[in-house]
Every structure is written in C-alpha cells, then in structure tokens.
Amino acid sequence: MGVHQKIDRVARRHLARQASIPDSFPAIREILHFEGANGPDGLKRKQPGKDEPWHFIDPNSRLEETELGAYIRDHIANLSKALSNKERERAAFEAAWLAHAIVDGLTPAHHYPLEDKLTQLRGGHGLETRN
C-alpha cells in the first residue's frame, strides 16, 4: 500500500470520528479504487507527458492563485455535488483525487521549481520527454 492509500484511510477514519458521515459517503474501498492505476499517478504511467495532472506549489504564491488551489476547489465542489446527488462512485472519485491533490501539494517533489530543474537536466527538453 502506498502513501496516498495510507493517508486516504487515516483521513476517512478521522472524518468519521469528527462528523457523522452520510450513507452517501463512499467506503474506503470505493475511494481506494481511484488511487494507483485508476488515479492521477496512473495517468502518468499510461500516457507519460500527456494530460497529466500537476500539483505544483510555488512557495512565492498564495494557494488560491495556484493550479493546486484550483484543483482543490474543483474537487471540493464536485465532491459536495456528488454527495448531494447521492452519487457514490463520483463521490469516491472526487474524494480520492482531492486527497491525492492535497498530499501531492505537501510533497517537496511536487514543489516549484522542480519541473524547471528537470527540464534543465533534460537538456531543455519539455515535459513530453519525461518518463
């Protein structure tokens, strides 16, 4: 089990202790379905450099102004909507991807200017050459 899966489990357990979880909230196995090969990192393995979600933090920017901030806001809104509509599968997807975005945002390897440095190390070649 990877770091994302462990954090998903702990976060869901913590949420259950803090608030009553509605029946429409997905079980941990439903959330974990959208990690690994079915999650953001799975996209990187299936099609390296194409349509990959990036969650970089620029320490000089406010979270609200970053791509990560936009991803988090979108997933929160989508999760809320899915829960309101009692769409468990969609809620599981949004919960997994929201958690993934937050964890990636806390991971130094995802911080700016890593991609700039990787491009420099690849001799100026862009993201499409990353594998």
Phi/psi of residue 57, nearest 5 degrees? -105, 130
Give mean pLDDT, residues 88-109: 84
The packing angle between helices 88-105 and 3-18, to 10°, is 110
Share of the chain above pLDDT 70, in %: 76
Distance between CA atoms of residues 7 and 5, nearest Å: 5
Under the banding of pLDDT at 50, 70 and 90, the label for residue 93 is: very high
Burial (CB count within 10 angstroms: exposed 0-12, middle 13-18, buried 19+), residue 94:
buried
Q: Quick one: tokens of 51?
A: 């349509």
State the average pLDDT for the chain.
Answer: 79
- What are the extents of the domains in the chain? 3-129
Among 67-71, 72-76, 98-102, name the most confident range. 72-76
